[in-house]
């Protein structure tokens, strides 16, 4: 039986869990510590042909400092409300699926409202699906009539609206762009998209040019597109003759248009020359629970893990399995402690609204970030301990206590010249008792 005192302690603990604790040291403590370097490359990676421009390196630093972004999967697939793979999963015919375009009219869509809600969550960037595997373009492309302006009654350039809203609210915009196309004849059929009934006239030279033209539109016609997020390389992962996506050429083209544009590719392998950040799908860097990151080494580039708020990317009406706010905040903290951004996904509804639960989660994360953002933004990766994780910035170590515990131990790598003090971040300036300093190798803190 627990006594009353410990019950009270547990109650208090639950209320303050996830609150960061500042623990600050003098610089001398950090000298010689391996972890004291940013992930951002300041020089060209070994064996790399790509030399990032100065403005690209600056963009990498800003991106890395931002630590938190929101992923939006929105397209005509949202109308079927069964996720973004429904064309393939549902084995739909092309002609039937396309009818969704003719009735796409998201009457409640307001780019400014989306951006406001996202900004208030503390996120610093948005990654938006300009074109998913179903090949439907969410901007007024001249490369195909299968787009939001020419093929829907809505006739509103969604990428354009978002770009304006992001600019107004000073939030970065990245663009998701699928390398797969389940509708076009010239896309060489891979492992997915076999049931659409389209004619197959594989012509990668032609398709590659189409993609380049589309990317040029996205980068040059809209102000403020600062990143390209590519997806689909795995579609040709099992080809007998390795498929040549000509990605390095693609990257060169992108950087020739906009040197500062950050390129990432969800190919589930280590970055190749020309990429500016490394991404991890549904896993923290170094983990492979979702099964996409087997053997994927962690590079020196900025890192980004993407994860869903519920279990789906595109709106899925039957998926109410949302992670709790606490789980999402913990994920953000853990990502930061791995030196990684978190790109957290929302699937907007076909009526143009963000789901109410997603909005609530954004609010909760925002409240937490207002108080504790200092321990996340602009931090470097830290360490993992039984009680939680750390992040670091300059002379400060932020301790994120994620487990119920009354006291914690922080092993020190090097003897600090002086310890300034340990503060409970949530109740400012309350100095914690340092119970035990044994030759400066372990510091023990009583939390209550
Ligand atoms: O946009 C979201 C997803 O639609 C897309 N990436 C995220 C961000 C994505 N979908 N699937 N994947 C990434 C990887 C899954 C690959 C598989 Fe398959 C699909 C494994 C089995 C089915 C393709 C087809 C590879 C093997 C068969």
Instruction: Give the single-character DSSP code of 373.
Output: G
pLDDT band at 421 (very low <50, low <70, confident <90, very high): low
Phi, psi dihedral angles at 419 (to 5 degrees): -105, 120
Pairing between β-strand 419-424 and β-strand 20-25 as defined by DSSP bridges: antiparallel
Q: Is 297 helix (H, G, I), strand (E, B) or coil?
A: coil
First to last CA, the chain: 21
Under 8 Å between Cβ of 363 and 120: yes
Residues 199-211 have pLDDT tens digits of 999 999 999 999 9
Ligand 1 binding pocket (C-beta < 6 A) is 84-85, 191-192, 231, 234-235, 266, 281, 306, 313
**The Cα angle at residue 266 between residues 247 and 120, in degrees rounded to 5:** 125
pLDDT of residue 322: 98
For residue 437, pLDDT over 70 is answered with: no
- Interior CA angle at 438 toward 337 and 397, to 5°? 20
pLDDT confidence band for 434 (50 / 70 / 90) = low
Q: Alpha carbon of 235 to those of 117, 249, 268, 336: distances in Å?
A: 34, 19, 12, 30
Q: State in Å: Cα 77 to ligand 1 middle.
A: 15
Average pLDDT over residues 269-283: 96
pLDDT over 80 (residue 141): yes
| Residue that is written with structure tokens 């006739």 in the block | 155
> Taking Cα atoms as reference points, which of 300, 307, 294 lies closest to residue 275?
300
d(CA 70, CA 355): 14
**pTM for the model:** 0.90
pLDDT of residue 196 exceeding 50, the answer is yes
Q: Does the pLDDT of residue 78 top 90, yes or no? A: yes
Query: For residue 389, what are its two tokens?
Result: 């994780």
Structure confidence by residue, pLDDT tens digits, 143-194 = 999 999 999 999 999 999 999 999 999 999 999 999 999 999 999 999 999 9
Ligand 1: which of 73, 74, 191 to mutate, most ligand atoms within 8 Å of CB?
191
Q: What is the pLDDT of residue 420?
A: 67
- Which atom of ligand 1 is nearest to 129's Cα? 1
């Amino acid at each position: 039986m627990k006594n009353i005192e410990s019950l009270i302690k547990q109650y208090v603990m639950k209320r303050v869990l996830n609150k960061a604790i500042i623990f600050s040291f003098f610089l001398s403590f950090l000298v010689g510590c391996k972890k004291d370097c940013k992930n951002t490359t300041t020089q060209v990676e070994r064996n790399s042909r790509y030399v990032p421009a100065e403005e690209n390196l600056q963009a990498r630093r800003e991106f890395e400092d931002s630590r938190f972004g929101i992923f939006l999967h929105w397209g005509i697939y949202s109308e079927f409300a069964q996720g973004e793979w429904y064309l393939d999963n549902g084995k739909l015919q092309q002609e039937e699926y396309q009818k969704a375009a003719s009735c796409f009219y998201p009457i409640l869509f307001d780019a400014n409202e989306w951006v406001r809600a996202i900004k208030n969550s503390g996120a610093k960037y948005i990654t938006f699906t300009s074109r998913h595997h179903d090949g439907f373009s969410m901007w007024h492309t001249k490369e195909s009539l299968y787009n939001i302006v020419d093929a829907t009654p809505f006739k509103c350039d969604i990428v354009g609206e978002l770009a304006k809203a992001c600019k107004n609210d000073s939030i970065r915009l990245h663009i998701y762009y699928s390398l797969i196309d389940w509708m076009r004849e010239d896309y060489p059929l891979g492992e997915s998209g076999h049931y659409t009934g389209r004619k197959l006239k594989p012509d990668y030279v032609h398709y590659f040019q189409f993609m380049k033209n589309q990317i040029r539109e996205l980068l040059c016609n809209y102000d403020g597109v600062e990143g390209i997020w590519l997806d689909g390389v795995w579609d040709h992962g099992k080809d007998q003759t390795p498929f040549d996506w000509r990605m390095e050429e693609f990257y060169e083209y992108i950087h020739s248009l906009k040197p500062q544009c950050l390129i990432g590719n969800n190919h589930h392998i280590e970055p190749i020359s020309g990429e500016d950040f490394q991404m991890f799908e549904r896993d923290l860097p170094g983990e492979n629970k979702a099964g996409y990151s087997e053997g994927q080494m962690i590079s020196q580039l900025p890192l980004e893990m993407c994860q869903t708020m519920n279990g789906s990317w595109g709106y899925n009406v039957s998926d109410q399995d949302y992670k709790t706010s606490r789980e999402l905040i913990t994920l953000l903290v853990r990502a930061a402690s791995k030196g990684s951004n978190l790109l957290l996904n929302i699937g907007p509804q076909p009526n143009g609204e963000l789901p109410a639960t997603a909005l609530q989660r954004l609010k909760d994360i925002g409240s937490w970030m207002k108080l504790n953002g200092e321990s996340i933004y602009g931090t470097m990766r830290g360490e993992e301990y039984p009680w939680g994780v750390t992040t670091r910035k300059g002379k400060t170590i932020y301790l994120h206590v994620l487990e119920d515990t009354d006291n914690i131990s922080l092993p020190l790598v090097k003897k600090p010249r002086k310890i300034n003090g340990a503060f409970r971040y949530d109740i400012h300036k309350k100095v914690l008792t340092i119970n035990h300093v044994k030759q400066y190798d372990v510091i023990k803190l009583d939390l209550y």
